[in-house]
Every structure is written in C-alpha cells, then in structure tokens.
Amino acid sequence: MTPSSQGSGAPAPCALLVVGIGELATPRGDGPLGGAALGRVDRARGQAVACDGDRILAVGPEPELRARFAANEVLDASGGLVIPGLVDAHTHPVFLGTREGEFEQRIAGRSYVEIAAAGGGIRSSLRGVRGADEAALVAALLPRLDRFLALGTTTIEAKTGYGLTVADELKGLDVIAKADRHHAVDLVATCLGGHDVPPEFEGRASDWVEVVAKELWPAAASKATFADVFTESHVFGLDDSRRLMESARDVGLELRMHVDQLTALGGAQLAAELGARSADHLEHVTPEGIRALAERGVQPVLCPLVPLYLGESQEAPARAMVDAGLAPALSTDFNPGSCYCMSLFEVMSWGALRYGFSADEALTAATLNAAASLGLGSDRGSIEPGKRADLVITDLTSAAHLTYELGRSPVRAVVKDGRVAWRG
C-alpha cells in the first residue's frame, strides 16, 4: 500500500495544503468549453487543495485531506473564494514608455486611426523598443509581471510587435524568454511581426510581408509558439494576412490573428480557413464569420475593455458566438495604446456588463478557455488533480461576486506552481 492511499497508514507528505476555503469554483476538463458548457462551473464549499511540486495532488473535503496529507505549509484562505490562476490569452507587454498623451487626445475626440496616421499609435512604441536594449526591456517587463501576478494572473500570452525589424522582433522574443525564466508568471511567446507596416516600408506593405515570411518567421520559429497579424485594411489586408500566416505555419508556428476589430473585413473567415488557434477581437464579425469559426473550432479571444477604451460603440457579438457553440476566452489585450489594464477581474466584470456573461461563464473564459487557446488546457486552467498548481485565493464570498465588484482587487494570495508566489 502506498503512503498516499486513502484510509490507512501515515499521512503522505505534501508541500502545500490550502484550507479554510469558503467556496472553490472551477471549470473542469481540458477544455475548451463552448455553448452551454461555458457556464458549467463546479462550485463547492469546505474543500481543500493539496499541492506538491508544481502539481495539484488532490481536491476534496478539508477533513479528508487533512487526514491524508502532512503538509510542509498550510495556507488558510480565511473563508474566501478560491479559483484557478487566471490566464490572459492576449497581451502586448514588451514596450518602453506609456502613451497617456494619446489617451487624452482620444478623449478629446481623435480616433485611433487618426492618431496612428499622425505618427502616434504603434509607431510611437516602435521608437521605444528599437532604442532599448534587451536588459532595459526586461527591466520594464518584470514589474508588469509583478502586477499581473498580484491581480491573480499566472499565465500570459505575450506578443512582440513593437520592434518591426527582424532584429528587434527577435530581441522582443528574447526579452519574453528571459522574463519567463526570471518570474513566477509564465509567458507564452507570440511573434507579432504583422502588427503594423514599419515606417521604412510605408506604402509597400507587401515588401515587409516578404521580409517577415522569408526572414523573421524562420528565425522566430524556435523562440515563439505563435505568429500573429493585425488583419485590417489600413494594415494588412486579407491577401497580405494570408501570405503572412501561411508562411508562419510552414515553419511550424501556430496562428493567432487580430481580426474584424475595426471593420468587417472577413478576417474571421480567413482565421477559420487557416486553422488558427484563436481569432481575437471580432467586434465586427459577421454571422458568416461566426459560422466559419464554429465549423473549424477556432476560439474567439474577446477583449471587452478595448472598445470601451477606444470610445468605439461596436461590441463583439459574444452571445451569438456562444450560441453557435464557440468557446471564447476573455483577455485584457494589455498594451500601451488601446488598453492599459492588466486586471482580468476587471475584464470579467466587463464581460458580464457588455456581453451578458454570467460569473461562471466569465470565469471559464478567463481560465480554462484561455489556457486551451494557448494549447495548455490539459496542463492548467482548472483546479483538478494532475493540473498545474496555480490558484487564486480571494476575499470574495462566492463566484457570483466575481463580476459584481468593480475597481478593487479581491486577491488575497496567489499560488503559482505549488508555491505561494504572492500575498496581499
């Protein structure tokens, strides 16, 4: 009989036992969960979670787990809600310098496209990244990861895209790799070589597309999991986007795409045709686009704060997507221009307010579905034995409170890879 067998013998050692949990709320399975399953969250009271190494060993009634395990460390949740570590499936965190001046201009009535045409927008961040060395960019990124962690986010997808030369994009990927090694938060790297047309290629976007296809993607393939493009007529139209994404796929990169954000260009259909992992934004997606995504099982990554932040009225038709069986993720789209927010709690609230998501639906979208969109659904995104021990201990009384409160972080402690990585 092994020491961990239930019922008899000495308690098995484990590194961490989380007790005093008011409510434990988690989706189940390897995801992604779409349609009616989006809101299928298990909620149970009086549970405990045993962790060892970087894994969850057991989840069950607290008295039972206290009898089964002798823990090195006991973490008391003080009656709070415990949820899986949040997963942010769309961020642009590699940049130097903020763009609050542009925010003021937008509030005063200028549009995102007007500001970009005047040399602002993505191009103003280009100057910062190109002028900085790797160490300066890592030094700017690490405090942002501290803030993600304090807000309960344990994994982020991290895009480059503010370099837009081959060397500066590769530098961005090296920054992401270094930050991943030096910080508890896990980063999944995306090379966003198709973020914008670099100023040197003004008026000849297709020439930059060829540089990306022939030089950047092959060099990025060993450093990134995903390639990404901003598919929009003022940046990369459907033909350029297709060339970018097919050439990325040819060197083994998986695909994420910014599509149908500002206009109904048909990017969702292209993402479906190409078998992208995710189609992101989708404010202007058409019913045909939703059908195409559903047929290919492409996950929408929705960013409800972005239209709010940009002063745009069009919302992603999230409920129609869920009704079509799609499995959306909710993300911040954290970036210096169109959404300076790192809080998935805030995003879950806006998912409720703008999309009509229930708290359970929002929780699945910000955990298991987000992890699944990164290819990590069997490793994280829910609180189940065998999964990575990433947990958020909050001071909330139940999961229903998740979307109810705005403007305050409810995070009391964060467990990452089985260790208490942050305490409030």
Binding positions for Zn ion, rule: CB under 5 A: 333
DSSP state of 236: B
From the CB of 280, what's the least distance to Zn ion, in Å?
A: 6
What gap in Å lies between CA 297 and CA 284, rounded to an integer?
19
Those residues with Cβ within 8 angstroms of residue 159's Cβ, 6 or more apart along the chain or in another chain = 90, 91, 92, 93, 94, 190, 191, 192, 195, 228
Q: Which is nearer to Zn ion, 83 or 229 (CB)?
A: 229
Helices (H), 305-404: 305-310, 318-323, 344-355, 359-366, 368-373
**What CA dihedral angle connects 145, 88, 335 and 345, to 10 degrees?**
-90
DSSP state of 214: I
Q: Which is nearer to Zn ion, 333 or 360 (CB)?
A: 333
Q: Which is nearer to Zn ion, 169 or 333 (CB)?
A: 333
From the CB of 176, what's the least distance to Zn ion, in Å?
A: 15
Q: Which is nearer to Zn ion, 165 or 335 (CB)?
A: 335
What gap in Å lies between CA 357 and CA 229, rounded to an integer?
28
For CA atoms 253, 259, 261, 263, the dihedral sign is: positive
From the CB of 94, what's the least distance to Zn ion, in Å?
A: 12
From the CB of 123, what's the least distance to Zn ion, in Å?
A: 15
The DSSP annotation for 119-173 comes to T-THHHHHHHHHTS-HHHHHHHHHHHHHHHHHTTEEEEEEE--S--SHHHHHHHH
Q: Which is nearer to Zn ion, 318 or 389 (CB)?
A: 318
Q: Which is nearer to Zn ion, 83 or 176 (CB)?
A: 176
DSSP-derived 3-state class of residue 29:
coil
From the CB of 84, what's the least distance to Zn ion, in Å?
A: 23
From the CB of 64, what's the least distance to Zn ion, in Å?
A: 45
Q: State both tokens at 81.
A: 């809600």
Shortest-Cβ-distance residue relative to Zn ion: 333
